[in-house]
Chain A
Amino acid sequence: MSAALAGTGALIRFGLRRDRVAIPVFVVLLALLVAVTAAESEALYATQAERDAYAASMAGNAGMIALVGPAHALDTVGGDTAWQTGGFGSVIAALVTMFLLGRHTRAEEQNGQAELLLSHPVGRAAPAVAGLVVVALADVLAAAAVALCLIVQDLDAEGAIALGASIGAVGLVFAGVAAVAAQVSQTTSGMYGLTGAALGAAYLLRAIGDVGDGTLSWLSPVGWGQAMRPFAGERWWPLLLALAAAALLVAVAFALLARRDVGAGVLGTRPGPPRAAAWMTRPVGLTFRLQRGTLAGWTLGLFLSGLSVGAIAQDADAVLGDSEAVDDIFRDVSGTLVENYLAIALLFLAQIGAAYAVQVLLRLRSEERDGRAEPLLATALSRWRWAGAATLVAFGGVVLVVGVSGLGAGIADAIVTDDPGRVPELLAASLVAIPAVWVVAGFTVLLYGAAPRFAMVAWVAVASGYLLGILGPLLSLPQWVLDISPYEHLPKLPADDFRLEPLVWLTVVAAALTAAGFVALRRRDVGSV
């Protein structure tokens, strides 16, 4: 046994050194998320009566419970904070744990560093043990930081520790899941896929369980964390359940590790197709094939976001509470508060969707930088058809990605209001933002064509639309500054009336930017990224 563990201490120190940025960033961001949520919850409701109204409306909202978790003691700051952050915080902890562990185990084997390492007097189990120790430390630190942040804000210490522990415990369970996945799959992406699927299933089980009678939630590690009921009469025994599951999973992982070759997986790699399907040897097909995972991820993510936006729309008054900031953003526009809230939330999701288009287009840059564009452009594929394919996938894909956010919001709102007409109404409200998203995409094409080295500036364009929209009214910025954002010119559906003219103009601007980018691309050297 000791031979299998030789060198573990040195590997732990090395692992901590490699993660000396990643772990503190994770710990601080998670603690900040919880601390900011608590501070907002504290500030949002002026009176206990308002807080009670909010708690009553949320406790009866099945959509929010499915999305977030079972509602306990929402009429307290602590209970509300635990509700809002417990489930999401657990998912973040699980994902970070998975990525960190993957980096220390399967990625090292896949890239050949493990082979180099194990040629030294290092035990076969040492890298996995060291990786687990490092991620366990990260989870414990995160749990402590969360608890500490809440105690500093004068919340009940037992509840604060329970919330931190519930998040950290879910992280530890998924350290075990990821450790098993790292033995089963031969590739890092396969390991992430298996772990991510387990996490998704766990979240879904608890969503169904929480809406129903709660039985299914007991099959989910995320459910165990929430069963600790931070700030709502803490229960500590679910923590033992989580720790036992983590220990069992780690034991399974080491049993598998002892039976396999270094670099191999229990599953092995599946061979892929020896020939390319005809559709993917065309420029658009190839771009779609290379980017379909990205498109699927964004579509799912924005659909779920749309669902959550729609689920609370009718409760907007209670959720948003009374504050000057809320008045500035949501009440100083025409229309009812619900419609204003939906218009702004859907616009915000469209701005997030713009990031999809930018990601697809900046892939041109990385393809060029990494030398994959060169052999393609040495075939009969012209630069315009090559970049045109990515442009088509970006401009078309964004319609889908943004559209499903409106679809999700419409479906959730239709269920709450019992009015199926809300689906097309909110779908239209999200789609109306597309021309503005195209302007951001066109700007990205121009940057890539004319100044590929500075194409990352496109991300600033993505962020600035959001910043101008949110901060503009708060800081009372002059109108001409706000007008820089293409989103400023959109009719704010469903609060405003529909106007076609600005949409036409935005589309023309987007087309002009794109065309300028194509002209610049034709004139410059390829490979100058």
Chain B
Amino acid sequence: MGAVIEVRGLVKRFGRFRALDGLDLEVEPGEVHGFLGPNGSGKSTTIRVLLGLIRATAGEVRLLGGDPWRDAVALHRRLAYVPGEVSLWPTLTGGEAIDVLGRLRGGLDPRRRDELLERFDLDPTKKARAYSKGNRQKVALVAALAADVELLVLDEPTSGLDPLMEATFQHCIREARAEGRTVLLSSHILAEVEALCDRVSIIRAGRTVERGTLSELRHLRRTTIDVETERPLDGIASHPGVHDARVDGTTARFDVDGPELGAVLEHLGRFGIRSLTSRPPTLEELFLRHYGQELSEAERAA
């Protein structure tokens, strides 16, 4: 079975503005795929292309084996979508909105709907105008999760949820994966991505800059080492792959590139290691490396 989502060299132009500039994205069946990027990097635009709401300017896009622009309606029967900014009809109740969205997709399981309402602690008899942001998001989540579909497309689905509901959401996504569904999760909450995602794609300015499993990404990145040795350290700062070293006699702290880690440890062993802690890069650090360029550009401009 081929990939659920296959995007190659996707370009989307709005007038002169290039929102997407050769983006690649591949999501395998049954995986939870994290889709990360700073604000305005093109995550929502990519999702709109995948839903056939907007048409790609150039590039190849396949969704569930079909063309999302041409086969929109047929493909939509097999997926459910939660937008980042949920806007509902103020005069309908939450329960009515869930049913409208669910039945227009082709029906939803009423037992599962009621169970999800309970788990997300959502009152379906309230008019949507009385809902908070978090509750509006729950309406969209219940409508999507109650659907019997192959693919869930979630665009920052938890930005208004409290920590308790965040836990419920994570539980639901794990269940969805256990049932064999595929999930594309665009998120700003890196802890959520680390907890849920098998693989991630990080995009920046409409282009994919990193993709792979979290451990692959970590391997490519620097690990921070704190070490204390019996004899004074020597030759660490100049060792290949070592960065930002601060050596003070028998203690040192430095970052080391993933591929050089083995060689560096061997080097350290010669001085008699008393204690050593290593900390792999967090997703946040990975993410900030790509932000970093923008940050320093912004600082320079200021």
Interfacial residues, chain A to chain B (CB-CB below 8 A): 110, 187, 269, 271-276, 278, 280-281, 283, 286, 289-290, 293, 370-372, 374-382, 525-528
From B24-32, B84-92, B156-164, B286-294, give the one contacting chain A.
B84-92
Is B211 among interface residues, defined by CB-CB distance under 8 A?
Answer: no
Within 8 A of A (CB), among B69-116: 72-74, 76-77, 79-81, 83, 85-89, 91-93, 95-106
Question: Are A376 and B91 also in contact (CB < 8 A) when A269-B130, A371-B83, A382-B72 are?
Answer: no
A380 touches B100 (CB 8 A): no
Q: 9 interchain pairs (CB within 8 A)?
A: A271-B126, A276-B92, A280-B100, A286-B100, A286-B104, A289-B92, A290-B91, A376-B100, A376-B104
Question: Are A281 and B99 also in contact (CB < 8 A) when A379-B76, A379-B105, A380-B73 are?
Answer: yes
Question: What separation, in Å, do the CA atoms of A374 and B81 have in the docked complex?
Answer: 9
Which of A272, A278, A378 touches B93 (beta carbons < 8 Å)?
A272
Which of B14, B48, B95, B101 touches A379 (beta carbons < 8 Å)?
B101
Is B140 among interface residues, defined by CB-CB distance under 8 A?
Answer: yes
Is B55 among interface residues, defined by CB-CB distance under 8 A?
Answer: yes
A382 touches B73 (CB 8 A): yes
Within 8 A of A (CB), among B27-86: 48, 51, 53-55, 72-74, 76-77, 79-81, 83, 85-86
Question: What separation, in Å, do the CA atoms of A290 and B91 have in the docked complex?
Answer: 8
Number of cross-chain contacts by CB at 8 Å: 113
Which of A275, A283, A370 touches B95 (beta carbons < 8 Å)?
A275
Q: Which residue of A lies closest to B98 (CB)?
A: A276
A281 touches B83 (CB 8 A): no
B73 touches A381 (CB 8 A): yes
B104 touches A374 (CB 8 A): no
Q: Which residue of B lies closest to A376 (CB)?
A: B104
Question: Are A290 and B104 also in contact (CB < 8 A) when A280-B96, A378-B53, A379-B76 are?
Answer: no
From residue A445, how far is it (CB to closest CB) to chain B in Å? 20
B106 touches A380 (CB 8 A): yes
B96 touches A275 (CB 8 A): yes
Give the residues in chain B near A525, CB-CB below 8 Å.
48, 53-55
A527 touches B54 (CB 8 A): yes
Give the residues in chain A near B77, CB-CB below 8 Å.
380
A283 touches B54 (CB 8 A): no
Chain A interface, DSSP helix/strand/loop, else mixed: loop
Question: What separation, in Å, do the CA atoms of A527 and B123 have in the docked complex?
Answer: 30
Is B9 among interface residues, defined by CB-CB distance under 8 A?
Answer: no
Question: Are A372 and B87 also in contact (CB < 8 A) when A280-B96, A378-B51, A525-B54 are?
Answer: yes
B48 touches A273 (CB 8 A): no
Question: What separation, in Å, do the CA atoms of A88 and B97 have in the docked complex?
Answer: 40
A274 touches B105 (CB 8 A): no
Give the residues in chain B near A293, CB-CB below 8 Å.
91
Beyond the given A273-B93, A371-B86, A380-B76, could you list 11 further A-B residue pairs with CB under 8 A, ordered by the A residue number? A187-B127, A269-B127, A274-B124, A280-B96, A293-B91, A374-B51, A374-B83, A375-B86, A378-B81, A381-B73, A527-B54
Give the residues in chain B near A527, CB-CB below 8 Å.
48, 53-54
Which of A187, A283, A377 touches B53 (beta carbons < 8 Å)?
A377
From residue A285, how far is it (CB to closest CB) to chain B in Å? 9
A281 touches B104 (CB 8 A): yes
A380 touches B105 (CB 8 A): yes
From residue B38, how far is it (CB to closest CB) to chain A in Å? 21
* Max count, chain B CB within 10 A of own CB: residue among A110, A273, A378, A525: A378
B125 touches A274 (CB 8 A): yes
Which of B55, B89, B125 touches A273 (beta carbons < 8 Å)?
B125
From residue A357, how far is it (CB to closest CB) to chain B in Å? 21
From residue A484, how far is it (CB to closest CB) to chain B in Å? 33
Lowest 5 A-B CB distances belong to which pairs?
A271-B125, A276-B99, A272-B93, A525-B54, A281-B103
Is B129 among interface residues, defined by CB-CB distance under 8 A?
Answer: yes
- Interface size class, chain B: 35 or more
Which of A276, A283, A378 touches B96 (beta carbons < 8 Å)?
A276
From residue A187, how far is it (CB to closest CB) to chain B in Å? 7
Give the residues in chain A near B53, CB-CB below 8 Å.
374, 377-378, 525-527
Question: What separation, in Å, do the CA atoms of A271 and B123 have in the docked complex?
Answer: 9
Question: What separation, in Å, do the CA atoms of A275 and B95 have in the docked complex?
Answer: 5
Give the residues in chain B near A271, CB-CB below 8 Å.
93, 123, 125-126
Q: Which residue of B lies closest to A188 (CB)?
A: B129
From residue A526, how far is it (CB to closest CB) to chain B in Å? 4
From residue A293, how far is it (CB to closest CB) to chain B in Å? 8
Give the residues in chain A near B124, CB-CB below 8 Å.
274-275
Give the residues in chain A near B96, CB-CB below 8 Å.
272-273, 275-276, 280
From residue B86, how far is it (CB to closest CB) to chain A in Å? 8
Contact with A along B146-168 (1 / 0, CB 8 A): 00000001000000000000000
Question: What separation, in Å, do the CA atoms of A467 and B51 have in the docked complex?
Answer: 44
Question: Are A283 and B104 also in contact (CB < 8 A) when A273-B93, A276-B96, A527-B48 are?
Answer: yes
Question: What separation, in Å, do the CA atoms of A44 and B95 have in the docked complex?
Answer: 59
Give the residues in chain B near A378, CB-CB below 8 Å.
51, 53, 76, 79-81, 153
Give the residues in chain B near A381, CB-CB below 8 Å.
73, 76, 104
From residue A452, how far is it (CB to closest CB) to chain B in Å? 13
Question: What separation, in Å, do the CA atoms of A274 and B139 have in the docked complex?
Answer: 12
From residue A189, how far is it (CB to closest CB) to chain B in Å? 8
A372 touches B89 (CB 8 A): yes
A375 touches B95 (CB 8 A): no
Question: What separation, in Å, do the CA atoms of A290 and B153 have in the docked complex?
Answer: 27
Question: What separation, in Å, do the CA atoms of A273 and B102 have in the docked complex?
Answer: 16
Question: Are A376 and B54 also in contact (CB < 8 A) when A273-B95, A273-B125, A371-B85 are?
Answer: no
Question: What separation, in Å, do the CA atoms of A371 and B53 have in the docked complex?
Answer: 12
Question: Are A272 and B127 also in contact (CB < 8 A) when A371-B83, A375-B101, A378-B53 are?
Answer: yes
Question: What separation, in Å, do the CA atoms of A527 and B88 have in the docked complex?
Answer: 16
Question: What separation, in Å, do the CA atoms of A372 and B129 have in the docked complex?
Answer: 13
Q: Which residue of B lies closest to A112 (CB)?
A: B132
Give the residues in chain B near A280, CB-CB below 8 Å.
96, 100
From residue A372, how far is it (CB to closest CB) to chain B in Å? 5
A272 touches B126 (CB 8 A): yes
A290 touches B95 (CB 8 A): no
Give the residues in chain B near A377, CB-CB below 8 Å.
51, 53, 72
From residue B185, how far is it (CB to closest CB) to chain A in Å? 16
Question: Are A375 and B125 also in contact (CB < 8 A) when A269-B130, A273-B96, A281-B100 are?
Answer: no
Question: What separation, in Å, do the CA atoms of A370 and B129 have in the docked complex?
Answer: 14
B81 touches A274 (CB 8 A): no
Give the residues in chain B near A382, CB-CB below 8 Å.
72-73
Q: Which residue of B lies closest to A276 (CB)?
A: B99
Give the residues in chain B near A526, CB-CB below 8 Å.
48, 53-54
From residue A237, how far is it (CB to closest CB) to chain B in Å? 44
Give the residues in chain B near A290, CB-CB below 8 Å.
89, 91-92
Give the residues in chain A near B80, CB-CB below 8 Å.
378
From residue A102, how far is it (CB to closest CB) to chain B in Å? 15
Question: What separation, in Å, do the CA atoms of A269 and B130 have in the docked complex?
Answer: 10
From residue B132, how far is it (CB to closest CB) to chain A in Å? 10
Give the residues in chain A near B140, CB-CB below 8 Å.
375
Question: What separation, in Å, do the CA atoms of A381 and B81 have in the docked complex?
Answer: 13
Q: Which residue of A lies closest to B12 (CB)?
A: A525
Give the residues in chain A near B126, CB-CB below 8 Å.
269, 271-272
A187 touches B129 (CB 8 A): yes
